[in-house]
Amino acid sequence: MSEVALLQIIGLLVVGTGVGILLFIRSKFLRVGGFVIIVLGTFSLLALGVPQMASLPPAIETFDITKVKTPDDLAGIGQKIFFSKGQCALCHSIGPSESARCPDLKGIGAKLSPEFIYESLTEPQAYIYLDFRHEGVPKEYPARMPYIHKNPIALSKQEIYSVIAFLQKMSGEPISIDVDDVLKMRDRDAMTVAAVATHGAAANAGE
């Protein structure tokens, strides 16, 4: 039996005792006590009825890059990274969005070559893209494209090329990133690629 269920049974016993006192005992003093016990017991029962939540740090998903066989596998990993560890979706939308603070990346894999996208991610200041989606002179975007290979996002080369594969795939382009080339890249420790789930898991402490 879980801890919460045990406490709930104790609470019910306490409330039951209070009700018993009110029903069967005449002494005023004890009846007041019985009433107090009922109020306190009910309060504890209500409190125990509230779901117990514990927040855990975000789970890290790792992918073994050696298991990647096709460009589609690579794009699948890239998609996870785009929406989690890479934080791209914090700024970019895929498709028009009123709230997006940065260029819409829809079709970007068809517009830009993989080399240019790689440069956009790792040398974001080399060529600054301005916001033309309004009347008048183009403006700078309110945010800055971060250096994706440096802290805090710090994607490895393999991770960056997975994201580029995803950008090509979602633009309806054939993926031109070569899986074997990506397998050979080891700028950092590992042959693993990681995506961090954006939402921490919630656990019910009662389970």
The residues binding ligand HEC (CB under 6 A) are: 86-88, 90-92, 102-103, 105, 108, 117, 120-121, 124, 128-129, 141, 143-146, 148, 163
Q: How far apart are CA 74 and CA 78, in angstroms?
A: 6
Output the smallest distance, CB 197 to ligand HEC, in A: 16
* Radius of gyration for the chain, computed over Cα atoms and rounded to the nearest angstrom: 29
Residue 93: CB atoms within 10 Å:
17
Instruction: Determine the Cα–Cα distance for residues 167 and 174; give it in Å rounded to an integer.
Output: 10
Q: Rank residues 38 and 79 by Cβ distance to ligand HEC and give the closer one.
A: 79
Whole-angstrom distance, CA of residue 201 vs CA of residue 145 = 29
Taking CA 123 as the corner, what is the angle to CA 117 and CA 126, rounded to the nearest 5 degrees? 95
Q: Closer to ligand HEC at the Cβ: 41 or 86? A: 86
Q: How far is the CB of 86 from ligand HEC (least distance, A)?
A: 3
At 134, is the secondary structure helix, strand, or coil?
coil
Least separation, in Å, of the C-beta of 191 and ligand HEC? 20
CB of 171 to ligand HEC, least distance (A): 11
Choice between 131 and 181, CB closer to ligand HEC:
131
